[in-house]
A = this chain, B = another copy of it.
Amino acid sequence: MFSLDSRLQQDTLVLGDFPLCRLLLMNDANYPWFILVPRCEAVSELFQLDAADQVQLWLETTRLAEVLKDVFAADKMNVATLGNVVSQLHMHVIVRRREDLAWPAPVWGKHPARAYSDVEIADVRGRLRLVLGGHFQFVEG
């Protein structure tokens, strides 16, 4: 049974579900920073997912990266699965811009998170509604 890691729960907001993954928004308004978590029995490495789920995770990751790049005018998308702190498999999909706080360094541990305001979260949800198709199920926040 799927259960979201408590640290992810604490640091993020739930946006909704793709067929495989729950989509989270890192509660850090410094960057549009998203996280995909496969809703399956907990595994920690990509190659521990079964073959069909691997294909689906790749699809959801690359399609999400593609729409985010457009919607948030990214200079570069950062895609990564690290898991040194949170072992539940999760994929970071992060919009990077040349003028963001950490550029060109990776975002992890670089600056303290700045929590979103309600207006800012509504803006993120609104942008995603424009581009995430019928295969994505929003949860109301």
Contact = CB atoms under 8 A, between A and B. Distances in A.
A78 B76 contact: no
Given A46-B65, A58-B58, A106-B106, 6 more contacts: A45-B69, A47-B63, A54-B62, A78-B82, A78-B83, A78-B84
B82 A62 contact: no
Interface string A33-72: 0000000000011110000001100100111011001000
A62 B84 contact: no
A128 interface: no
Given A46-B65, A47-B66, A85-B104, A80 B77 contact: no
A81 interface: yes
A109 interface: yes
Interface residues on A, range: 20 to 34
A22 interface: no
Contacts of A69: 45
B83 A80 contact: no
A106 B108 contact: yes
A81 B80 contact: yes
Given A105-B109, A109-B106, A76 B84 contact: yes
A8 to B, nearest CB: 15
Interface string A74-103: 001111111111010000000010000001
A47 B63 CA distance: 7
